[in-house]
Amino acid sequence: MALPPKQHLEFIGVDMKNGWEVPPGYPPGFTQKVLGTDLDETAKKGSRTRLLRLDPGAFSTVPFVHDHWEEVFLVQGDLIVGNDDKGQGGNASHAFTYACRPPGVPHGPFTSKNGCLLYEIHYYETSGKK
């Protein structure tokens, strides 16, 4: 089932307190707010723009791998990459840092000591043909 195309939006308010949800397959303490999406992971097309928030001390235990591109901008806080299964260790980054990952690249696990807010764009590569 294909999603409808993304809407044209002009600087609408974003409620930063309500409407957050745990993304499928993510551990507790990771929440997202989808800003716009027509990402169809079955048909391998479209894109999604979201905010991803990690609560202080939240951590994942295994790397993530996507079949789509992912661009991430750390807007606020600290993000630690490569922690162990207890949330310890890894390499810290702080706002304002950026990552761009092609499909199939393992990344993580992740934790945050003080919490963080990420701005993410996920998309499938297009052929450029019309």
Within a domain: 10: no
Number of domains in the chain: 1
Residue 19 lies in a domain: no
129 is a domain residue:
no
85 CA to centre of own chain: 20
Residue 7 covered by a domain: no
Q: Whole-angstrom Cα distance, residue 37 to residue 55?
A: 24
- Residue 130: per-residue pLDDT: 45
pLDDT beyond 60 at 5:
yes
The pLDDT of residue 128 is above 60: no
Amino acid identity for residue 97 in this structure: T
Sign, CA torsion 55/67/46/98 = positive
Token look-up 């409407």 returns: 19
| Residue 32 near residue 23, CB atoms below 8 Å | yes
* pTM of the predicted structure, to 2 decimals: 0.90
Read off the pLDDT of residues 92-106 as tens digits, 9 standing for 90 and up. Answer: 999 999 999 999 999
Encode pLDDT of 10-65 as tens digits: 999 999 999 999 999 999 999 999 999 999 999 999 999 999 999 999 999 999 99
Structural domain harbouring 84: 34-123
Rounded distance, CA 130 to CA 121, Å? Answer: 22
In a domain, 63, yes or no: yes
Q: Is the pLDDT of residue 84 over 70?
A: yes
Domain harbouring 62, CATH code? 2.60.120.10
- Is 79 part of a structural domain of the chain? yes
Gap between the Cα atoms of 66 and 75, Å rounded:
22
